[in-house]
A and B are shown apart, each in its own frame.
Chain A
Amino acid sequence: KAGVTQTPRYLIKTRGQQVTLSCSPISGHRSVSWYQQTPGQGLQFLFEYFSETQRNKGNFPGRFSGRQFSNSRSEMNVSTLELGDSALYLCASSLRNAGIGSGYTFGSGTRLTVV
Chain B
Amino acid sequence: AQSVTQLDSHVSVSEGTPVLLRCNYSSSYSPSLFWYVQHPNKGLQLLLKYTSAATLVKGINGFEAEFKKSETSFHLTKPSAHMSDAAEYFCVVSNNNDMRFGAGTRLTVKP
Q: Is the interface of B mostly helix, strand, loop or mixed?
A: strand
Complex-state Cα separation, A71 to B34, whole angstroms: 28
In the complex, the answer to whether B101 meets A43 with C-beta atoms within 8 Å is yes
Known: A42-B103, A43-B90, A103-B49. A90 touches B44 (CB 8 A): yes
Residues of B within 8 A of A111 (CB): 41
Number of A-B contacts (CB under 8 A): 57
Residues of B within 8 A of A104 (CB): 46
How many chain A residues sit at the interface, stated as a range, is 20 to 34
10 smallest CB-CB distances across A and B, nearest first, come from A101-B94, A106-B43, A43-B101, A106-B44, A99-B96, A100-B99, A108-B43, A101-B99, A99-B97, A107-B43
B residues lining the A interface (CB < 8 Å): 32, 34, 36, 41-46, 49, 90, 92, 94-99, 101-104
The 30 listed contacts between A and B (C-beta, < 8 Å) are: A4-B43, A42-B101, A42-B103, A43-B90, A43-B101, A43-B104, A45-B99, A55-B97, A56-B97, A56-B98, A90-B43, A99-B96, A99-B97, A100-B94, A100-B96, A100-B98, A101-B32, A101-B34, A101-B92, A101-B95, A103-B32, A103-B34, A103-B49, A104-B46, A105-B46, A106-B44, A106-B45, A108-B42, A109-B41, A109-B43
A residues lining the B interface (CB < 8 Å): 4, 6, 33, 35, 42-45, 55-56, 90, 92, 98-109, 111
